[in-house]
Structure 1
């Protein structure tokens, strides 16, 4: 089974709705981290160019990635600067620390 890692950077107000929607499409197991940064449109007039966003990482089967990416974009999109980004990364191997074995999610 081929695995992918989907990484999304989204506005903080999106997280709760996104968590519920991911559970509804049977995507379980996400990591959400508060992050700061700026993209192609930093506020050059502010003392601090960065803004707070949420970084979400999800390990998923390759066949589930398209639905996952579509869901994230549908929930996070408002059509404004700062909506975020989504990246799909290849995953060579996946291990479960508890069992010390190579596994699939």
Structure 2
């Protein structure tokens, strides 16, 4: 199993979610986060004064999938979250050694 963590622009969340659900994914976690990458924030104007926004709002998606689903899920997130502009985000894939469903005690793939 793999844990896929994607950091994307907030307005892309619904598009990504809809396609992943249509693919048959049973669940995901979405968290509002703030961060910066190469763009290191951005400058904004408010009432004639310029100020710096150091951390930009993002959404962090986390989903655990079977090994055979990884490539398809990563490609789907990448295609749906891409705007072609700086700050589109990142996707991280890490090993997930165990999953336990708290309610039933099921483990591994059955717990997904």
TM over 0.5: yes
Aligned to 1:43: 41
Aligned to 2:30, which of 32, 37, 51?
A: 32
- Runs of 4+ more than 3 Å apart: 44-48
5+ residue gaps, structure 1: none
TM-score, normalised with respect to structure 2: 0.85
Distance 2:42 2:84 in 1: 21
Cα offsets for 1:51-78 (capped at 9, x unmatched): 0000000010010010000000001111
Distance 1:70 1:95 in 2: 27
5+ residue gaps, structure 2: 44-50
Distance 1:34 1:82 in 2: 15
TM-score, normalised with respect to structure 1: 0.90
Shift of the 82–98 alpha-carbon distance from structure 1 to 2, 3 Å rule, reads same
Task: Give the drift of 1:41.
Answer: 1.5
Q: How many residues get paired?
A: 103
Aligned to 1:61, which of 66, 70, 82?
A: 66
Alignment of 1:1-105 (within 5 A): 3-43=1-41, 45=43, 46-104=51-109, 105=112
Q: Secondary structure at the match of 1:42?
A: coil
